[in-house]
Amino acid sequence: MATNRTFTMLKPDAVANGYIGGILKMINEAGFRIVAMKYTQLTKDAAGKFYEVHKERPFYGELVDYMSSGPIVAAILEKENAVADFRTLIGATDPTKADEGTIRKIYAKSIAANAVHGSDSDENAQIEGDFYFSKLERF
């Protein structure tokens, strides 16, 4: 299923460090339109559910604790080729391996606290957006 939308979260480290404005500016300047947006905090249960696909990975517990540790910004973004272009904009999972000029290279502290989430497929973008937003919250 092809869509022109992706889903992102500005993670607890990015919010705590005061990077919301800087990251949103990069997102806007890269040509993404904000379809939906929410400032919220995941419970441990909700974070566990969101990252269920990673349940078997060794960092799952750490990831769930971290993602529920403070407020985040969740958003649906629209642009042609949104999923792939947003992954390019955020850079590699490990910020030490991220390209220059990417959001993670500029704002991320570590492979765990890596500033931002980006969906990895159209299907997951749909699932992840539905996790946070009702139809009435999309514009």
Q: Which residues bind ligand IDP (CB under 6 A)?
A: 54, 59, 62-63, 93, 111-112, 114, 117, 120
Q: Is 117 a catalytic residue?
A: yes
Tokens of 109: 């502290």
**In this structure, are residues 93 and 111 in contact, taking their beta carbons and an 8 Å threshold?**
yes
Nearest to 85 by CA among 25, 6, 24: 6
Minimum CB–partner distance for residue 77 and ligand IDP (Å): 15
Minimum CB–partner distance for residue 51 and Mg ion (Å): 9
Q: Which of Mg ion, ligand IDP, none has residue 62 at its interface (CB below 5 to 8 Å by kind)?
A: ligand IDP
Secondary structure of residue 90 in the 3-state scheme: helix
Sign of the dihedral through C-alpha 49, 54, 115, 5 = negative
Instruction: Identify which of residues 64 and 137 has a Cβ nearer to Mg ion in the complex.
Output: 64
Instruction: Identify which of residues 120 and 122 has a Cβ nearer to Mg ion in the complex.
Output: 120
Catalytic residue positions? 117
